Chain A
Amino acid sequence: MRRSRPLARRPERPAARVQPSSAPPIAVAPVLQVELGTLLLVALVAAGAALRLAALGATGLTVREAGQAFAAWAVAQGARPPQWVGDATSVLTSYLFRLGADGDAWPRLVSGLAGAALVPAAYLLARPEGRTVALLASFLVAFSPLTVAASRTALPGALGGLLAALLAAALLRHWQRPRPQTLWATVLLAALCLGSDAVGLAGLLGCLLFLALAVWTGDHRWPSVVESLRRWPWAVVLGLAPGLAISAIHWGYGPSGALAAPRLWSDLFVLPGDRSPVLTLLALLAYDWPLTFLGLGGAALLLRRAWLARGLDSLSPWERLSLCWLAPGLLVALAGSHAHEGALLAVALPLALLGAVAMSWALVALPWGEAGRAWPAAVLVVACSGALGLLWTLWSRPFSQVSAAEAWGAWLAAVSLMWGLWLAWRRWGTAAAAATALALAPLALGFWPHTVWAVGFHQGAEPLLGARFTVGRDQLARILPQMPAPAAPLALSLGVAEVLGWHLRHLPLAVGDPPPRSGVYIAEATSPVPRGFSPRGEPVTVAREWRWHGDDGRRFWRWLLLREPYGRVLELRVQTMVRTQ
């Protein structure tokens, strides 16, 4: 007989049948308690240091780095080459050489150490804004390819950036609570910035702008700062005197390279330049679009807040200082004609601070807990961007043709992406934005290590880093000792000495016109042959430089993935000449 009790269509699920483990528990007590924030900071500092200091010599020095390193090496030997600027990085590097250091990694060590210290310095600087912002700022500084590139170079920038960050932190501390110690530190660091480099000066200018703004807006803190100057003039003197002394005489190298920062700053804008601001902007996007967009987004958020509140005093001092720092940084990026990877730190650092503002805003404003509801948006983003990426990669192959189906597929993916996101926004609102951000985050997080690897550990074509040496340089270095009269000084033209001097530094060198004793003279391939010399062999390409050309998006994509150059490559060719008379 059938039972009359109806059965639910959906089967009932019994309560959990937990079959507890038969193992007796082992009683354990915590031996230590660590704050999550501290743990994250330690991890960031360690990761930042590892990225900056590991295998510093993995890639050979670039041509510009070699010139800088050769000048420091020559100074350590007692010479004073014309390209010597006397910035703090070069001075410290030359001290390393005097202590016996040798090899490609050593010229980068000062920047590497300064760059590693920049990560906790960013935390220190942003700490008044709360732990979240401070950690985010450290995170951006630690992993940004631009800051990593600036820290793995022999060119000045990272040390100035570190001094500027410490200066800003000291100034903010003094601004909040004037003390003789903070005043002393602020003045000392400001003076040291003058002897550092263009990045240090950019930070100093940002701080001055901040003070000027405070005066202009009548900030209520300004009188107490002025009062502190009156109360503790000795702190100013004690800070200024050693700072200026160090910046001027460089620990015993004399006043020839005094106050290098303003000179390096002005050098950035000298015309004619070697790179247009368009290229610098492109470099910002190609090497660190997450930082650029986040930083500019953060700046826009702050300006919008100030606009709505009808005044900059609605921003915290830290936020105002970050905006003020961005101004000279943007000047370097937009108007600089010689902005190299070290100098770009001038804009990367304030962008990192402002990027932290944007990220912390997004963390609060978006409903991350509801992102799961909008998972189709995330799937759509992953599927369409994956398909578009693969299609672009397929098309960017040399000699590849675009089939009609592929073109339609790409259009379909792009249109689906746009419409899908719009529909998702209509359906789920900000939850869709959170889901999209979560889907795009791995893309950004994947881009960073890829670019960090490219700029720090790989010998690919990098417009940011400038010209790289070719195997021709090694060939040249191998055959030179076999030339006639190897004991006589090897003569190098001024231009070639700047390029090859570092690699030939262990040979007896004479820079300029060949002296009578020299049997071999190396000059640019286009330079005239001096009397008594004749060319030996064909000119050798010792370095190549490549920059983005035209608007070929597909080839640019291939460069982005594989670091393959396209279009014209600039070559530096040298000619070896031997004395015949």
Chain B
Amino acid sequence: MIHVLQQILEKALARLSQNLVACLPPLIVAAVILSVAFLLATILRWLILKAVKAVALDRFLRDSGLGSFLDRSGRLRAASLVAGVAYWAILGTALLMSIDVFDTTLTSRIVQATVFAVPKLLAAGAILLAGFWLAQYLGRSTLVWAVNEGMPFARRLAIGVKVAIAFVAVVVAADTLGFAGRVFFAAFVIVTGAAALAGGIAAGLALRSALDRSLHQPGTRSGEREEHSLWNHL
């Protein structure tokens, strides 16, 4: 019994050592690739931060509001953004190269799928970024407008606008990636339909009450007087 166990253990160890011997060179190569890439990425990031001014890009980030959107402190500089992108691009490429070193069916498929997905991922990322930025911008516009107009539930209204736009961005990004497109599309249609229905009902009710007021109190126009007295000191 002990002999059988010993044989099994020896075979297992032999297979392990065989595998180790077979995998060790690619592992070492992968480690070297990653180390060199890390070194290269760090140096490049440092160089970009030191050398690149990117004044025009800085101005674009500041004027468009993207800078404060990506970094709430408002201190984001284009050079650090470019440096970050370069850093992660080198590390990502190195990771793919190090996976490819193993040269198996699985690793080849992973690398191939990743390479093909990169353009779509970039496009989806850009759509999400633009969508979330727009959601924040229009959400804030709605909030400030609703507060200044003295509307009730201003915050909820703004959140509604923000969520709706962010949701549209997610739907479009998911569609770009081909990810659960039908589910998102169905959800989008349902939400849009519900919003349109709610808006229609709200507009109808508001119109009815406005008509009621104007029919029953034709001479007062109190709202107009109130608005006038709020601003006539300007």
Tell me if chain B binds chain A: no
